C-alpha cells in the first residue's frame, strides 16, 4: 500500500477515529493534528496485510512539534 492513499484520505478528512485510538492519544497527549501531520510527513515502515477486518500498516512520522510518532492505520 502506498502512503499517498493515506495522505489523500487525511487531506479529505476521511479518517475514522476509533474509541481505542482516541483513548491512547489522550493518554499520550497526542492531538488529531499531530496524527495528521505524522501521516503527511511519514513513511510506511511495516505492512500488515492479514489484519482483520482491513489491511493496515505502521507509519513513522512526526507530530507538529517534531515528536516521533508511530501510527497504525488501515483502510
* Residue where the block lists cell 483513548: 23
Task: Tell me how many domains the chain contains.
Answer: 1
Interval 12-45: pLDDT, tens = 999 999 999 999 999 999 999 999 999 999 999 9
Mean pLDDT of the chain: 93
Q: Which pLDDT score, from 0 to 100, does residue 54 have?
A: 82
Range of the domain at 64: 3-74
The grid coordinates listed for 5 are 492513499
| 1 confidence band (pLDDT: 50, 70, 90) | low
Report in angstroms the alpha-carbon separations of 65 from 5, 16, 35, 62: 24, 23, 11, 8
Amino acid at each position: 500500500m502506498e502512503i499517498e492513499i493515506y495522505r489523500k484520505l487525511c487531506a479529505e478528512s476521511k479518517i475514522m477515529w476509533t474509541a481505542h485510538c482516541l483513548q491512547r492519544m489522550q493518554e499520550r497527549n497526542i492531538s488529531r493534528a499531530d496524527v495528521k501531520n505524522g501521516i503527511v510527513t511519514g513513511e510506511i515502515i511495516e505492512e500488515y496485510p492479514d489484519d482483520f477486518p482491513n489491511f493496515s500498516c505502521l507509519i513513522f512520522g512526526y507530530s507538529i512539534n517534531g515528536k516521533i510518532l508511530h501510527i497504525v492505520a488501515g483502510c
